[in-house]
Structure 1
């Protein structure tokens, strides 16, 4: 007789379905973090390099942190988590308030591609591990299932639908992931004095996939970009460093950002803005110390280019406005005169002023003030910078004038705005 499975039985049944369908480890943890169900029962995760906890504890800690960010009382979307040693997990927090069916379902660990001896040796060097441990690590990696990126995403979608009954697309999954949120960009800002030489190409994959992905950037289509990127197979990427897996990943990320820069320019983004974004994202990637962080930063960079192209197309401004806005963006920390902007645009100052206000809705001086206030807001998120420093750097005559202009565009004084930031975080 057919019947509806409720409570504990239902979640256990879903876990068994996932395990049987993919033959990958599945765990159900209660709200206290204890393992309620493990499939297979004999599976043993590796222990971390430091501390007394297990790999599973590391993953559950990550789930707990994300739960704190997302809030309580609602089910979350699946979370995709990759460790520094390339093990991948799917985490889905179960809805609160339902007896015997709360907690977190964890799928993994799996790999997106087999780990070879050379790969393992690279990871040993990246994490300063003794070469004598390499064979033990290789044995561990060989015990893990390997799923392509596309199948892994579909496993996350299947888990979500079985638990919630709701439809979810790959694009929805990736757009909701923290990987898309590039908070560092808003807070730090690009350094226009640095530039990177770019010598590597995206290697060992079907050129049609590459062209399709960068076509989405040129069209300002972030959703299409993410769906296209999901089709790339990890093992088809080139190896751009023989000594370090991390270095190879960074080189691949740099090459993809280089191509994305060209695609964004073809899509209408003014070249100076595109190169500025490129410099910033490459500098950020060079500072990272593990492979998952590089992967996240690379995806965030590609999405940033797509968003910029989309916003630029929506604005429908003329080349004159684009030239002026680009110059203002790059020279906020300098004195900006109408005469200099007219020289850049090749127009009479009065005529430029008239056209600029007609297209943007703001006088040139108001537009510059607004952009400086936006930059001031970004600077306020950084530690160690006083309000007087910000006012001086952005060429406001004195603190009172800075306060007046800031309140004009935000409705708050700088101190009130910073206090709200501190209360929020």
Structure 2
């Protein structure tokens, strides 16, 4: 596709084509981050906040992160949708392969739906924007184009296809691993502002749309969940706090997680696991301090419910093994033994051991070790917690043994795990 154009002609052509099709700002940056081409239907009116070249700092950080994840099997890096703490949406495509020296293409800013004066005001108050600067932001929001979630996804796909000649589905875009890493749920860094997936609860939606969403959770269908989620219209969401957009967003997210918990239980997920997941995600959302972080955490929570339902159905465990897994899930920080699990299940320890290994493929002790390593990985996402403290909490004899077991299940040491994620 577009092979007849030279490299220096192809990117300007693609930028102009997308600009004319969507009337969204399109910016072409060279590998140094300098603007080569900028097409803006309403001029540069963004109030002065952190960032350069008229782009927010979150977007520039995302470009750098995505550029570092280029894959030689693609002719361009995967497209990303980034939403800033001020609710601006950007599509980012770092170029690689034969176009690597071309830098990146950024489409945006846009909104999912127009912001009312009241909603914009509460958002700015959430950010402690001085009264003297609020009018400039209000004027800026009035001029931003609105493109709903599904159309924005299609714009990202079109950009990718024009640049690479490859096809991409909405499911592939939404299921991309960098958007929904479970570990990011524990991340308290500014990166929470990236990969923002705008989603509220469904107070004012067509009830059939709501039923469809929770049907996917009951069926363990994350792909269907994401596609249905992308079809929700932003301007139909409820407002549960007049004083704070952030508080309203948290309330809506908590409501959706509560409904998702019931759907997961209906789908066969053991109730204690479902409630524990619900508690964790709600507690996590309460700690967040900006709307993009809440939206991403909510979407990740819904996907995790769907994943657990799918895993539960695939495992085909007996009630006894499921009961043991649930008990282990909730008591990882306590001493766990086969005899204790046998007491919980009301079975002979030897029989339970044979049954559990037959159904899971793992001895009870191996399963406990694996789950503790998964929990350790979650704890290591938090800066400031030492490896020795993690080992002690999870009942490893010493840090050396913890390192040995960790490497057995992950292939790397705990220090390497943290280093790979830039955690100190």
Match of 2:93 in 1: 92
Cα offset for 1:341? 2.6
Q: Which moved more, 1:87-96 or 1:128-137?
A: 128-137
CA distance in 1, matches of 2:34, 2:380: 42
Match of 1:221 in 2: 221
CA distance in 1, matches of 2:356, 2:19: 61
The 8 Å contact of residues 47 and 137 in structure 2, kept in 1 or not, is answered as no
Q: Which moved more, 1:140-149 or 1:356-365?
A: 356-365
Correspondence 1:108-123 to 2 at 5 A: 108-123=108-123
TM-score, L = length of structure 2:
0.86
Cα offset for 1:384? 4.5
SS at match of 2:362: coil
Deviations 1:368-419 (A, max 9, x none): 34433444454455545455544443334x43xx7558646744999x7234
Whose Rg is larger? 1
Q: Are 1:421 and 2:406 matched, yes or no? A: no
Q: Are 1:78 and 2:74 matched, yes or no? A: no
The 8 Å contact of residues 34 and 53 in structure 2, kept in 1 or not, is answered as no
The 8 Å contact of residues 115 and 138 in structure 1, kept in 2 or not, is answered as no
Match of 2:161 in 1: 161
Deviations 1:205-231 (A, max 9, x none): 011111111111111111111111000
Deviations 1:93-131 (A, max 9, x none): 2225449x7121111111111111111110121011234
- Compared with structure 1, are the counterparts of its residues 24 and 239 closer, same or farther at alpha carbon in structure 2 (3 Å cutoff)? same
Q: Which moved more, 1:119-128 or 1:336-345?
A: 336-345
SS at match of 1:180: coil
Match of 1:65 in 2: 64
Deviations 1:285-309 (A, max 9, x none): 1121111111111111111111111
Deviations 1:134-167 (A, max 9, x none): 4332221111111111111111111111111111
Q: Which moved more, 1:24-33 or 1:107-116?
A: 24-33
Q: Which moved more, 1:70-79 or 1:287-296?
A: 70-79
Match of 1:193 in 2: none
CA distance in 1, matches of 2:370, 2:409: 14
Match of 2:196 in 1: none
The 8 Å contact of residues 403 and 413 in structure 2, kept in 1 or not, is answered as no
CA distance in 2, matches of 1:392, 1:254: 33
- Compared with structure 1, are the counterparts of its residues 213 and 84 closer, same or farther at alpha carbon in structure 2 (3 Å cutoff)? same
SS at match of 1:261: helix
Cα offset for 1:347? 3.2
Correspondence 1:372-411 to 2 at 5 A: 372-380=372-380, 382-386=382-386, 388-396=388-396, 398-399=397-398, 403=400, 407=404, 410-411=407-408
Match of 2:296 in 1: 296
Match of 1:250 in 2: 250
Cα offset for 1:89? 1.0
The 8 Å contact of residues 45 and 54 in structure 1, kept in 2 or not, is answered as no
Match of 2:15 in 1: 15
The 8 Å contact of residues 240 and 251 in structure 2, kept in 1 or not, is answered as yes
TM-score, L = length of structure 1:
0.86
CA distance in 2, matches of 1:93, 1:317: 44
Cα offset for 1:322? 0.4
CA distance in 1, matches of 2:406, 2:53: 51
SS at match of 2:36: strand
CA distance in 2, matches of 1:87, 1:177: 22
Cα offset for 1:327? 0.4
- Compared with structure 1, are the counterparts of its residues 353 and 86 closer, same or farther at alpha carbon in structure 2 (3 Å cutoff)? same
Cα offset for 1:201? 6.8
Match of 1:234 in 2: 234
Q: Which moved more, 1:356-365 or 1:136-145?
A: 356-365
- Compared with structure 1, are the counterparts of its residues 374 and 272 closer, same or farther at alpha carbon in structure 2 (3 Å cutoff)? same
- Compared with structure 1, are the counterparts of its residues 14 and 283 closer, same or farther at alpha carbon in structure 2 (3 Å cutoff)? same
Deviations 1:162-208 (A, max 9, x none): 111111111111112633112145789xxxxxxxxxxx973100111
Q: Which moved more, 1:26-35 or 1:301-310?
A: 26-35
Cα offset for 1:283? 1.4
SS at match of 1:178: coil
CA distance in 1, matches of 2:268, 2:182: 22
Q: Are 1:56 and 2:55 matched, yes or no? A: yes
CA distance in 2, matches of 1:422, 1:59: 23
The 8 Å contact of residues 187 and 379 in structure 1, kept in 2 or not, is answered as no
- Compared with structure 1, are the counterparts of its residues 153 and 370 closer, same or farther at alpha carbon in structure 2 (3 Å cutoff)? closer
